[in-house]
Every structure is written in structure tokens, then in C-alpha cells.
Amino acid sequence: MGYPQVMTITTSTQPSDFKSLLIAAFHRARSKGKPNWQCMTVAVLKNRLLNLTGGVFREAAFGGQTLREILVRFPDVVRVEGNSVTLVDASALEAPKVVGAPPKRIRDDIWRAMIDYRTGKKYAWDANQEIVREALPDDEMILPTLDAKEIDKWRADFIEKHGATPELQKWRNFALGTTALPVDLRHSWNSMLTERVSNRATEWLAANNLAPTLVATLPNQQVTSGKAEEALRQIVLDCVTLMTVSELSELRLPPAAVLRAKNAGKMR
């Protein structure tokens, strides 16, 4: 059973949707580190249901006049005693599944160029290799890397949607990573971030007459980076040191790589 980030309440809402929403409310309480999270008052539970539905939760949508009236229909999930609601089986919260479609996949080189605002680096499109790399002085096709103000605005938009809790405010104010978010909100933030970066990249590619499909990693396309890139570089260096003069004379170097080496002062 998945845990909704924000459930849309419609005339077709089913009892099973309420059960999922109910479990999500307890899941959120646990992820926030609340003491005795298995138990809460009806009023607190109502607030959590409102947060999970973007403020539109209404008992009538689930065929009841009061929340308590609906809760007693789910004895396999909760026990209602007076004004207290207790989760019956905590194992229902284990191994939550991701709700909704997975976020789009963005090529590693494009993703890095779009969000690497902390280093101050600029990234350019290399038409010869059809990849994104660190920009050289003469490069003109510079990708629109996010800046700190933009990413902060995106965080503010996210908080506006999910509620200005102290935990979310801290995540924004200190520019913390995704792991600082409550577990049940991480997928939602990653989806929002991926969608906005994807739109930004697609618009830039289209404006420069490049194929928008370059945003996604194709099945037979791989972009090496990080440790994989360093491992590949070391293999090439090891091979060069063992090559004969005849083999070296047959070596073909990409013009862009030669230019980078020249600009970096590595060529004599």
C-alpha cells in the first residue's frame, strides 16, 4: 500500500482511499520522530488528514458526518477509544511504496550542469561529442545553471504546498539535502525538482535547436561521471604508458580534448 503525498478528494473517492490516507497520517507522525506516534487524538488526526489532502479533506467525501464515524469502520487499522485513535498494526507502515509515476530521468551531465550552483562553475554544450562539460573561455552555448535564489524559491513553493512545519522551514533556511525532509515528502520533492529541472533543460535545448529527447537517458546511451569517469581515465593512462611508438602513432584524440588540454596549459 502506498502513502499519498497529497490525495485529491473527488466524488469517486473510495473507502480504500481513506484507509491509505489513514495509514499515511500515522506514517508521517512516525517519520517526524513523534513520541508515542501510534496514538493521537481525533483532532490531531484530522489536522494530519487535512495536510495530506491539501486542506480539502471532508468527512462527507467518505460517507460520514464526523471523523469518528468513519474511523470505526476500519477496526483492522485503528482502535477508537473516547477521543483517542490508536494504530492497531504498526507493520502496515513498513516498506512504503512510491506513490505515482517515477520522476523523469535526466542525463547525468545535463542534471549536474543545471543544479551545480554551489561551485560557481559554468557548463557548456560540446557539439562535437554531444555532451555537457565544464565551459571553456570561448564557449557560447552555456547552460542555464540554477542559482541559490531560484532553488530557494522552489523550496518555498514546496513548503507552501505541504505546510510550513518547523522541520521544513529548517530544511529551507539551511539549504539541507533531501534526507533532511520527512520520509513521506522526499519523493514529492524529488519529483518536483526533477520536473522543473527537466522543463528548464528542455526549453534551453529547444531554444538552441537541440533535440529535447537529450534530457532523458536513452537505453543504449551512457554518460560517465564521477568514479566511473576517473576509472576510465586511469585505464587510458595505463594503456598509453605501455604503448609502442607504432601504437601511439595510431592513437586518435578527440579535437575537443586536445583543445581543453591546450587551454589548460598541459600541452608543450
Domain containing residue 51: CATH number: 3.30.420
pTM for the complete prediction?
Answer: 0.45
Could you tell me if 209 and 231 lie in one domain?
no
Tens digit of each residue's pLDDT (9 = 90 or more) over 178-205: 888 888 888 889 888 888 888 888 888 8
Asked whether residue 117 falls in the same domain as residue 139, the answer is yes
Q: What pLDDT does residue 143 have?
A: 94
Q: Is residue 145 within 8 Å of 113, Cβ to Cβ? A: yes
Is the residue at 268 inside a domain?
no
pLDDT in tens, 91-132: 666 544 434 444 456 778 888 899 998 889 999 998 888 889
The one-letter amino acid code at 228 reads A
Q: Are 125 and 205 found together in one domain?
A: yes
- Which region among 19-23, 70-74, 214-218, 244-248 has the lowest average model confidence (pLDDT)? 214-218
Give the model confidence (pLDDT) of 121-155 as tens digits.
999 998 888 889 999 999 999 999 999 999 999 99
The verdict on 210 and 233 lying in the same domain is no
Answer yes or no: is 120 within a domain: yes
* Cα–Cα distance, 171 to 179 (Å, whole number): 9
Q: For position 100, what pLDDT does the model report?
A: 42
Quote the domain boundaries for residue 85: 15-93
Quote the pLDDT of residue 216.
56
The total number of structural domains in the chain stands at 3
Would 221 be classed as within a structural domain?
no
If asked whether residues 81 and 169 sit together in one domain, one would say no
Residues 125, 80, single domain; the answer is no
Closest CA to 182 of 162, 202, 199: 162
Could you give the CA distance from residue 54 to residue 103 in angstroms, rounded to a whole number? 21
pLDDT score for 58: 82
Residues 201, 248, single domain; the answer is no
Is there a single domain that holds both residue 210 and residue 230?
A: no
Residue 45 CB contacts under 8 Å (≥ 6 apart), including other chains:
25, 67, 71, 85
Mean pLDDT of the residues in the chain: 76
> Within this chain, do residues 70 and 154 fall inside the same structural domain, yes or no?
no
Would you say residue 220 lies in a domain?
no
Residue 1 included in any domain: no
